[in-house]
Chain A
Amino acid sequence: MARTLRLDTALAEQIVAHARRDHPDEACGVVAGPEYDRPTRFIPMINAARSPTFYEFDSADLLRLYREMDDRDEVPAVVYHSHTATEAYPSRTDIAYASEPDAHYLLVSTRETGNEDGPYELRSFHIVDGVVSEDIVVVD
């Protein structure tokens, strides 16, 4: 059964704005929260790879992020990144490196609008042991 990701409009807009700002490089980050189904705290991360085809959290930033979430009893409810030339669907490398089985892996594609405003493609997935299943996304 598909899982549902409920995302406040403001959070969705922050994610999309980050993706547009960093286009043509991929943008990435986390929305942490008390539970996987309650993403509340927007945490944009630096893409240490600074690449249009790859993203990776900086290793020192990653440790800080996980310590902070631990201290606040939070989980990485949403792990987001953008695709800047392809659809908002997990790539082979996304699937290979996915390591949070409970997280919503959210993808935004900026291929249509680049840095500009306009309609956006936003989809979310669970990735467990190489298997991708799409979440239902409710933005409200």
Chain B
Amino acid sequence: MVVRPNPAYPGNTTRERSAMSVEVRIPTILRTYTGGEKLVTAEGASLQELVTNLDSSYPGIADRLVDDAGLRRFVNVYLNDEDVRFLDGLGTEVADGDSVTILPAVAGG
């Protein structure tokens, strides 16, 4: 696996692939799935795995984030400060201590 330094944990440069624990910020509109929780923890080595893991804890939430084509067009997901569309989408690798933020697009016609 590729180990990259994590600015949040400068001393931590090795980690187990099997236990990536990531904080996920949930937007207001999806807090009905998380019992009102704004900040939850999920596990996985990629964004896809995180979404699957989130859905096992909060059934139904995955459907609001992804469809058959991948990440839904009007849902923005950020790994730390970066929109995952500019990384590797659902394939984006995540590391222990990373932070994921979900924000619905603010858009309309």
Contacts and interface: CB of A to CB of B under 8 A. Distances in A.
A97 B76 contact: no
B107 A102 contact: no
- Chain A contact residues: helix, strand, loop or mixed: mixed
Contacts of B106: 28, 30, 45, 56-57, 62, 79, 97, 99-100
Contacts of A23: none
Interface stretch (B3-11, B41-49, B51-59, B78-86): B78-86
B2 interface: no
Contacts of A93: 107-109
A54 B28 contact: no
A44 to B, nearest CB: 13
Contacts of A17: none
Given A57-B105, A97-B107, A100-B29, A63 B76 contact: yes
B23 to A, nearest CB: 13
B27 interface: yes
Interface string B94-109: 0000000101111111
Given A91-B108, A100-B28, A59 B101 contact: no
Contacts of B101: 63, 66
A63 B81 CA distance: 8
Interface of A: 28, 30, 45, 49, 53-57, 59-60, 62-63, 66, 79, 81, 90-94, 96-102
Given A57-B106, A97-B74, 10 more contacts: A56-B105, A62-B105, A66-B101, A81-B108, A92-B109, A94-B109, A97-B104, A97-B107, A99-B74, A101-B28
